Amino acid sequence: MIWFILVLLVFGLIFGAIARLLVPGRDPMSLFQTWALGVAGSLLGGFLGAVLFGFDSEDGALQAGGIVGSIIGSVIIVIIVRLVTDRRSA
């Protein structure tokens, strides 16, 4: 369980940074916000992957599909955050 939390923390920052790079535009986010974005995106991507394709625990916790799902989930959250912040500023 502690290994999963450590992996989530490290990869959360990486996935958040990748998502911010993939979605064009300006993002005034701190390092902590980028980390939170990546963690939330990993959870969202893992949840959507499990709902759509099922979860196969025999392959282990870290799978290529999970990595792609985490990045896609993070990109979705970046887009949602931008939509919400654009409405507030308008």
CA angle centred on 30, ends 28 and 31, rounded to 5°: 140
pLDDT of residue 53: 72
Average pLDDT over residues 6-13: 82
What does the pLDDT read at residue 38?
Answer: 87
Distance between CA atoms of 25 and 35, rounded to whole angstroms?
18
Q: Cβ contacts of residue 55 below 8 Å, gap of 6+?
A: 49
Structure tokens at 38: 């990546």
pLDDT band at 47 (very low <50, low <70, confident <90, very high): confident
| Predicted local distance difference test score (pLDDT) of residue 59 | 61
Neighbours of 3 (CB within 10 A): 9
Task: Inform me whether the pLDDT recorded for 3 exceeds 80.
Answer: yes
Q: How far is 23 from 82, CA to CA, in rounded Å? A: 10
Tens-place pLDDT, residues 49-83:
777 777 666 665 566 677 788 888 889 998 988 88
Q: Higher pLDDT residue, 49 or 13?
A: 13
Amino acid (1-letter code) at residue 60:
G
